[in-house]
């Protein structure tokens, strides 16, 4: 399938499939694996926070390197190779210090390749930029397949096999990256320094709400599986609940190219933050009601699907030419990096100290703050892109 005459649809889609399949093994089940090693909630929070924390610096450093060498696919392949090698260190020892060092090294490389690949995907799409979601949905399908299959697999066997599964999937990312062709952005002459773009009020506000959105996901990404297991849910059901959320995300990705052409992105963000806040409240206070949990998971279509598709499109608009790699890296750094790490750390510190329902309520409050920032400060229709001269 080709979206235009030169877009390698299946090769791009395969990268997303394997990347998010590895995420489907890591995010829902890594905390359960750490729990099986008898780590405390605070230690689990710290270890889980290391993975997004490296996104604060690593993607931007690698993005700078890719923008200046003008060989992003070589950087992507190198990062994925080093991710496989470093993650294999989990088989050496399971002590806290060793695991911390392994996760630090692994995530430094693993977190770097996706923002670069996002920028390259958009370069391949060209004028079909609004069809990004048609490629990205394969990542969601990979995530769904993995959380469902692994939920059943770990019910039948042992969560101890999680590291082996993750290494295999990381190797899949590396192999697929070898067949993806490079596509560079159009060079913009006379571009202003990237700091001038970042200082624009609308860009600053956008980056802040990205941080807050992922911060609000802290209790969910770190403790959702543990929360459900403590209330008697099997790992198969836990995997299914994760999958329901991403299935809703897939539906949104299938529709997103039409939504972006017909609905103002500011309105999409406002709706997204309201539904995200509602989602956390429902999960927190109705954990024993399976029907409500299924309903709450449908909002993942907005809290991740709509949010991410809109954000990728806006980053591509704000950061053009030689700023594209660093623009995508900056988005990843502040949202999935700093926001995700802050959410995981705070969740780990508070998990054993306050009622879990109220912790999810705090997450909802963070989403509402982001809603208010969008309402007051973000007006995309009045934004003038200054990342190129003229």
Token code pair at residue 72? 């992003």
- State the CB neighbour count (10 A cutoff) for residue 104: 15
DSSP letter for 186, please.
Answer: P
Q: What pLDDT, on the 0 to 100 scale, is given for residue 136? A: 83
Q: What pLDDT, on the 0 to 100 scale, is given for residue 388? A: 35
pTM, full prediction:
0.80
CA-CA distances (angstroms) from residue 175 to 18, 179, 184? 10, 7, 21
Q: Delimit the domains of the chain by residue range.
A: 9-381
CA dihedral 119, 124, 130, 132 (to 10 degrees): -70
Q: What pLDDT, on the 0 to 100 scale, is given for residue 390? A: 28
Q: What pLDDT, on the 0 to 100 scale, is given for residue 380? A: 60
Q: What pLDDT, on the 0 to 100 scale, is given for residue 90? A: 96
- State the CB neighbour count (10 A cutoff) for residue 358: 12
> Distance between the two ends of the chain, CA-based, in angstroms?
37
Token code pair at residue 342? 């802050």
Question: Sign (positive/negative) of CA torsion 112, 26, 294, 17?
Answer: positive
Q: What pLDDT, on the 0 to 100 scale, is given for residue 80? A: 95
Determine which helix (DSSP H) or strand (DSSP E) holds 100, and give its type and residue range.
Answer: helix 96-125
CA-CA distances (angstroms) from residue 102 to 40, 57, 76, 348? 19, 17, 20, 20
Distance from C-alpha of 351 to C-alpha of 45, rounded to nearest angstrom: 9
Q: What pLDDT, on the 0 to 100 scale, is given for residue 131? A: 75
**Chunked in runs of 10, what are the mean pLDDT values of the chain (390 residues)?**
64 94 93 94 92 84 77 90 97 95 95 85 76 84 92 91 96 94 63 79 93 96 94 94 91 82 88 98 98 97 92 83 74 88 94 95 98 89 38
Q: What pLDDT, on the 0 to 100 scale, is given for residue 220? A: 96
CATH topology of domain 9-381: Growth Hormone; Chain: A; (1.20.1250)
Q: What pLDDT, on the 0 to 100 scale, is given for residue 119? A: 80
Distance from C-alpha of 69 to C-alpha of 63, rounded to nearest angstrom: 10
Q: Could you tell me how far CA 212 lies from the centroid of its own chain?
A: 14
Q: What pLDDT, on the 0 to 100 scale, is given for residue 5? A: 53
């Amino acid at each position: 399938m080709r979206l235009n005459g030169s877009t390698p649809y299946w090769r791009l889609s395969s990268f997303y499939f394997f990347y998010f399949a590895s995420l489907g093994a890591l995010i829902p089940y890594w905390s359960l694996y750490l729990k099986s090693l008898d780590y405390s909630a605070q230690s689990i929070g710290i270890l889980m926070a290391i993975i997004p924390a490296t996104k604060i610096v690593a993607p931007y450093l690698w993005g700078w390197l890719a923008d200046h060498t003008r060989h992003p696919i070589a950087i992507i392949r190198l990062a994925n190779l080093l991710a496989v090698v470093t993650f294999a260190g989990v088989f050496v020892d399971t002590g806290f210090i060793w695991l911390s060092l392994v996760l630090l090294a692994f995530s430094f490389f693993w977190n770097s390749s996706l923002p670069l690949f996002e920028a390259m995907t958009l370069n391949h799409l060209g004028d079909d930029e609004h069809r990004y979601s048609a490629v990205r949905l394969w990542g969601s399908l990979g995530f769904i397949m993995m959380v469902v299959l692994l939920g059943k697999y770990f019910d039948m066997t042992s969560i101890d096999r999680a590291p082996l599964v993750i290494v295999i999937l990381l190797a899949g990312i590396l192999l697929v990256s070898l067949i993806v062709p490079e596509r560079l952005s159009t060079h913009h002459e006379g571009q202003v320094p990237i700091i001038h773009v970042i200082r624009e009020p609308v860009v600053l506000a956008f980056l802040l709400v990205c941080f807050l959105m992922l911060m609000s996901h802290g209790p969910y990404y770190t403790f959702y599986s543990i929360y459900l297991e403590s209330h008697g849910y099997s790992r198969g059901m836990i995997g299914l609940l994760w999958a329901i959320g991403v299935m809703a995300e897939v539906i949104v990705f299938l529709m997103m190219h039409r939504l972006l052409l017909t609905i103002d992105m500011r309105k999409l963000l406002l709706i997204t933050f309201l539904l995200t806040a509602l989602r956390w409240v429902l999960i927190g206070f109705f954990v024993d009601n399976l029907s409500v949990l299924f309903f709450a998971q449908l909002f993942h279509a907005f809290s991740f699907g709509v949010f991410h598709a809109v954000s990728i499109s806006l980053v591509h608009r704000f950061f053009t030419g030689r700023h594209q790699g660093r623009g995508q890296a900056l988005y990843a750094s502040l949202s999935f990096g700093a926001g995700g790490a802050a959410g995981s750390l705070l969740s780990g510190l508070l998990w054993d100290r306050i009622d879990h329902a109220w912790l999810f309520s705090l997450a909802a409050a963070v989403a509402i703050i982001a809603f208010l920032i969008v309402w007051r400060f973000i007006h995309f229709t009045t934004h003038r892109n200054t990342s190129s001269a003229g």
